[in-house]
């Protein structure tokens, strides 16, 4: 009897083990199906925008326009100085933008010590946040690809399209050529804008002539950048930019020139011949260059991104095409930032 019971016990154990062994592949298969069934995690699109004192409404309008025109998984990096960060955070958290994903990053202006001349014709261009774009890898740690936008932009297209800009192997960034959009050429000529290296660099200086760059070379605008962080770090782009900033302090290579390009000029040098291009409709610019010269409404409606580079900003007066910008503006809950309008 004992032997029979023992045999039955052994058979029972074997049956249990057999079932478990043959159930393992099924369980694994089910797990695999469960893991694959959700859609792949959507890629995060990091967008860097500065929030400067006196023009925080610009950053708000830019963010609002991006957020309203995309279904993409956008993470906003909002860069400010210590004194401005509480204001921009409160503005976002107390408006319809409270749903956005964002990180506030403090920029330390001490990194610029000894690297900026104080004699530029436009002092506002010397504001520390103008140089945030030089330090992208130090501010943004975990992303391979990053979009940087000037605060005086609004986005009318899906930011995913801009993010999908292809960068050629070995290129750390993509920009818009200043000669790339025939529709803007008439405006460039009419208001005397510069769109070549001659407008930004002082070719009377030997250091500039030694670069071997023709003064008639088309410039580019770094107000919209799609950057590859791996290449940026590998090529030590930040160090190269700092080198030319310091040389300008010593030799005045570009700070007093027509372009007023204290942030643009070092980028023109460092990235010469080594950048990819952005679709021209993703950077329609010069809207802030004149208070009178306007683009056609049809052309502006087709544009994916508008940039009020120049002196005449859409939150001030006078300026052009302010209706396009103001449609994305969200009033400051604290009342500190106010639009300047003819009747205000």
Kindly list the structural domains of the chain, giving each domain's residue range(s) and its CATH number in brackets, ordered by start.
45-176+221-249+275-327 (3.90.550.10)
pLDDT value at residue 289: 87
Whether 255 has a pLDDT exceeding 80, the answer reads no
In angstroms, the Cα distances linking 107 to 31, 84, 222 are 45, 11, 19
What mean pLDDT value characterizes the chain? 86
Per 3-state DSSP, what percentage of the chain is helix, strand, and coil (rounded to 5)? 40, 15, 45
pLDDT value at residue 236: 98
- Tokens 């290579």 correspond to what residue? 253
pLDDT for 160-216, tens place per residue?
999 999 999 999 999 999 886 655 656 555 545 578 898 889 999 999 999 999 999
Q: What is the largest CA-CA distance in the chain?
A: 111
Please state which of the ranges 115-124, 233-242, 311-320 shows the lowest mean pLDDT.
Answer: 115-124
Please state which of the ranges 26-40, 64-78, 124-138 shows the lowest mean pLDDT.
Answer: 26-40
């Amino acid at each position: 009897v004992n032997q029979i019971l023992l045999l039955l016990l052994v058979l029972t154990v074997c049956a249990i083990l057999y079932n478990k062994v043959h159930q393992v592949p099924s369980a694994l298969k089910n797990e695999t199906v469960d893991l694959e069934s959700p859609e792949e995690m959507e890629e995060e699109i990091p967008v860097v925008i500065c929030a400067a004192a006196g023009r925080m409404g610009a950053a708000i309008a830019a963010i609002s326009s991006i957020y309203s025109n995309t279904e993409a998984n956008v993470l906003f990096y909002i860069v400010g100085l210590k004194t401005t960060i509480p204001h921009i955070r409160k503005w976002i958290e107390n408006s319809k933008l409270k749903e956005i994903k964002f990180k506030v990053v403090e920029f330390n202006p001490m990194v610029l010590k000894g690297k900026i001349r104080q004699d530029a014709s436009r002092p506002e261009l010397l504001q520390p946040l103008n140089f945030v774009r030089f330090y992208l890898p130090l501010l943004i740690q975990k992303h391979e690809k990053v979009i940087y936008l000037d605060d005086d932009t609004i986005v009318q297209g899906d930011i995913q399209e801009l993010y999908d800009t292809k960068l050629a192997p070995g290129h750390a960034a993509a920009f818009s050529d200043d000669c790339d959009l025939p529709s803007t050429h008439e405006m460039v000529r009419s208001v005397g804008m510069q769109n070549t290296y001659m407008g930004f660099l002082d070719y009377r200086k030997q250091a500039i002539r030694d670069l071997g760059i023709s003064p008639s070379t088309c410039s580019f605008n770094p107000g919209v950048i799609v950057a590859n962080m791996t290449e940026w770090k590998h090529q030590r782009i930040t160090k190269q930019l700092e080198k030319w900033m310091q040389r300008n302090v010593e030799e005045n290579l570009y700070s007093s020139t027509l372009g007023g390009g204290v942030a643009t000029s070092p980028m023109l040098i460092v990235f010469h011949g080594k950048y990819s291009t952005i679709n021209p409709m993703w950077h329609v610019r010069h809207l802030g260059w004149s208070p009178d010269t306007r683009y056609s409404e049809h052309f502006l409606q087709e544009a994916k991104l508008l940039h009020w580079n120049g002196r005449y900003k859409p939150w001030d007066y006078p300026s052009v095409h302010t209706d396009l910008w103001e449609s994305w503006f969200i009033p400051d809950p604290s009342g500190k930032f106010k639009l300047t309008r003819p009747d205000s």
